[in-house]
Amino acid sequence: MKEHENQCLSRRQFLLVSTLAGGGLLLPNSAAAQDSMQMPMASATATPSIKTGPTEVSLRIGPVLVDVTVSKTISTIGYNGQVPGPLIRLREGKQVSVQVFNDTDTPEFVHWHGQFIPSEVDGAGEEKSIVVPPRGQVSYQFTPRPAGIRWVHTHVMPGSNLYSGLYTGQFGIVYVEPNEDPGSYDQEVFLATHEFEPFYSTGEMEEEEGGEPEDPTLEAEVNADKTQKSNGWEIGYQTFTINGRCLGYGDPIRVREGERLMLRILNASATETIELALPGHEFYVVALDGNPVPRPNKVKVLQLGSAERVDAIVEMKNPGVWILGTPMDEDRNRGMGIVVEYAGRKGKPQWHSPGQSDWNYLLFGKSEAATRPDEVIQMEIGKINGGQGGFNVWTINGQPYERSEPIRIHQGRRYRLAFVNKSDDMHPLHLHRHNFEITKIHGKETAGIFKDTVLVKGFSRVDVDFVADNPGLTLFHCHQNLHMDFGFMRLFEYV
Ligand SMILES: [Cu+2]
């Protein structure tokens, strides 16, 4: 296990600009922002025109008890005494001072996922970011950008320890308010999905996970290798939650007929890809990973890999009491859902299967070729079954992270990452500190979809382009912890 291998204490001292005593709560200087943080996330109303944002944010890492149902409490680690952490509304381009207090006995990394900020404050050990020492505190500043739904989460690599990293409750939604175009909707609701009580399982139950192979020749090639052992450990969960509650136990999303509901959804899972549907309604998807899509489109099923976000408007035109939840019955019965209740309607929440998923990134992109890259970087994703301790080892171009060299890139160049997934699993592939543009999926060219995490299906090919415009060490990895922690990472180094 290679936890915390790159902690950089000198960097911490360099960045330690203040030593505030006490104070564990978020301390925004804007009343509007403060209100938004004190409201339960499921009923936060739209605040489309805050012209200021908080100048100070305080995060306190410590033990939390999460009442997922009336009779079940999860003991975990979280931010500011709650799971998810408080909704943090920042203003695009307005510098914020961050204080992080660590009330635990382990060093922590706090990663600001999806923001174009310096490596020092991005919150990843491999990037030599500031480390939050056990029982210690750090302070630093950054300027939030770009606008849209981002998030903050621990970047400690749990490895085989299911009480660490993203298996805990250390995550929260960050919304960077745009300076222009707040959007058109009546109510805004932030939702974060997360699973608790992880356990090790054998691979069989996960076999369907990668979906239908997009390229059967890749599958045939991999299956021809008879030296492979059987699949290693996978993770299952006892408890599924949205905003820290199992289905039926939190506040419902309360709506009125005729209202336009803006859902801003984050999958804060350590390992799971999820789907969500709302019977009798469609999702009008307007942004992916917080970035407006060129072609907003309607779907009946949303799909989010770990770390992905979707902004979707739902026209509330089918009065009743409904379940917004996963189509997977077992997971929904374990909590993955939230009740949507129209005003004046009572009764048992209704669920109907949405049928076949219609989710496809291509629905939201332009049907044309994107700008040509200056350079193509091939990334062949491989899996070595059942390595040390029964864990699969993940490789890029045949090498796990531990044996790899950083990939050297030049400022100003446009790089195409050409993924060839020679494994049966789906991978939510994340690039730190940059966005990328999806340019090709399963042989079809597209343009205009900008994301920081792309879900690559089993035995498939996906291309994404990024412009090297934010110098500093930049981590690339699969956001599935069981993959990331066992080899599935690369470091980009500007030269
Ligand atoms: Cu993966």
Ligand 1 center to 94 CA (angstroms): 34
Distance of alpha carbon 274 from the chain centroid: 11
pLDDT at 46: 38
Ligand 1 center to 372 CA (angstroms): 27
Distance CA 432, CA 477 (A): 9
Looking at residues 103-132, what average pLDDT do you find? 98
**Average pLDDT in the chain:** 89
Looking at residues 272-291, what average pLDDT do you find? 98
Ligand 1 center to 426 CA (angstroms): 6
Ligand 1 center to 81 CA (angstroms): 30
Ligand 1 center to 48 CA (angstroms): 36
pLDDT at 427: 98
**pLDDT tens, 54-66?**
789 999 999 999 9
pLDDT at 30: 36
Ligand 1 center to 481 CA (angstroms): 8
CB 447 within 8 A of CB 294: yes
Query: Considering the entire predicted model, what is its pTM?
Result: 0.89
Residue 35, pLDDT > 50, answer no
Residue 186, pLDDT > 80, answer yes
User: Residue for token digits 């040509």?
Assistant: 372
Architecture of domain 9-181: Sandwich (2.60)
Distance CA 224, CA 97 (A): 55
Ligand 1 center to 479 CA (angstroms): 6
> CA angle, 121 as apex, 117 and 122 as ends, to 5°?
65
In the structure, ligand 1 is a single-atom ion and the residues with CB under 5 Å from it are: 427, 478, 480, 483
Ligand 1 center to 389 CA (angstroms): 18
Ligand 1 center to 402 CA (angstroms): 16
pLDDT at 256: 98
CATH 2.60.40.420 fits 194-361, yes or no: yes
φ, ψ (nearest 5 deg) of residue 493: -125, 120
Ligand 1 center to 445 CA (angstroms): 23
DSSP β-bridge partners for residue 235 = 200
Ligand 1 center to 457 CA (angstroms): 10
pLDDT at 221: 83
Ligand 1 center to 375 CA (angstroms): 24
pLDDT at 50: 40
Ligand 1 center to 425 CA (angstroms): 7
**pLDDT tens, 205-234?**
444 556 677 888 888 888 888 788 889 999
CB 491 within 8 A of CB 474: yes
Residue 108, pLDDT > 90, answer yes
Ligand 1 center to 476 CA (angstroms): 11
Ligand 1 center to 194 CA (angstroms): 17
Ligand 1 center to 482 CA (angstroms): 7
Q: Where in the chain is the domain with CATH 2.60.40.420?
A: 9-181, 194-361, 375-494
**pLDDT tens, 402-443?**
999 999 999 999 999 999 999 999 999 999 999 999 999 988
More reliable by pLDDT, 49 or 143? 143
Residue 44, pLDDT > 90, answer no
DSSP β-bridge partners for residue 493 = 408
pLDDT at 210: 60
Ligand 1 center to 316 CA (angstroms): 36
Query: What CATH superfamily classification does 375-494 receive?
Result: Cupredoxins -  blue copper proteins (2.60.40.420)
Ligand 1 center to 455 CA (angstroms): 9
CB 485 within 8 A of CB 158: yes
Ligand 1 center to 373 CA (angstroms): 25
pLDDT at 442: 86
Residue 28, pLDDT > 60, answer no
**pLDDT tens, 368-414?**
999 999 999 999 999 999 888 999 999 999 999 999 999 999 999 99
pLDDT at 55: 84
pLDDT at 353: 97
| pLDDT confidence band for 15 (50 / 70 / 90) | very low
Looking at residues 268-282, what average pLDDT do you find? 98
Ligand 1 center to 250 CA (angstroms): 31
Ligand 1 center to 130 CA (angstroms): 26
Residue 449, pLDDT > 70, answer yes
Ligand 1 center to 480 CA (angstroms): 5
CB 272 within 8 A of CB 344: no
Ligand 1 center to 483 CA (angstroms): 5
Distance CA 96, CA 142 (A): 6
Ligand 1 center to 273 CA (angstroms): 10
Ligand 1 center to 485 CA (angstroms): 10
What is the three-class DSSP state of 121?
helix
